[in-house]
Amino acid sequence: MDNYSKARDRLKMSLEDLRRGLARYLEGDYPDAVFRFQLSVENACKSILSFLGIEFEKTHFPSVLIGRLVSDKERMKKLNLSREQITHLTLTVSHASALESQGSMPRYGWETEERIIMPSEVYVENVAKELLRSTLEGLSSVVKFFNEFKNLPPDLSGMISQLRSLVDDASGKLG
């Protein structure tokens, strides 16, 4: 599979998880919404890595890999990215790390000496709303990154357009 196909497929997964997350958010299932937002951002970051031809092991922290890439001047020279593209990558990392740092808490909560703190105790509406905001801003940066490239294959461009439309729609509703 080529880099463009991998990037397209990762963006499709990102789009599907964003849709699921938005549905759960509207239902008031905030822990599952956050989990889906987290997956959406992870797959969007992985789409960037795939697009750039960067091989990676299974990870729930792809923004760390992008951050290392941006910090590596030699690799950045080889990739020949524009200043705007690097800015979009930096913004993507900034927003994605907020989601990735949630770890398994949206699914499992965490255990203390006295009890297990349930995800529903942590991921209440205002917390989920802020994480949704970070999700949408991070995904918007991903879209802007890809839009800096000309002559992308139509299937990849189409997936980017779909993601942009959903992000714009959700951003408009969020306010």
Task: Show the tokens assigned to 11.
Answer: 């963006």
User: Percent of the chain at pLDDT above 90?
Assistant: 73
- CATH topology for the 3-174 domain: Four Helix Bundle (Hemerythrin (Met), subunit A) (1.20.120)
- Look up the pTM and report it: 0.92
Mean pLDDT of all residues in 31-60: 93
C-beta of residue 129 within 8 angstroms of C-beta of residue 174: yes
What are the domain boundaries of the chain? Answer: 3-174
- The Cβ of residue 72 has, within 10 Å, a number of other Cβ atoms equal to 12
Are 105 and 148 contacting, i.e. CB atoms less than 8 angstroms apart? Answer: no
Encode pLDDT of 96-116 as tens digits: 999 998 888 888 888 899 999
What pLDDT, in 10s, does the model give residues 111-142? 899 999 999 999 999 999 999 999 999 999 99
Q: How much is the mean pLDDT over the chain?
A: 93
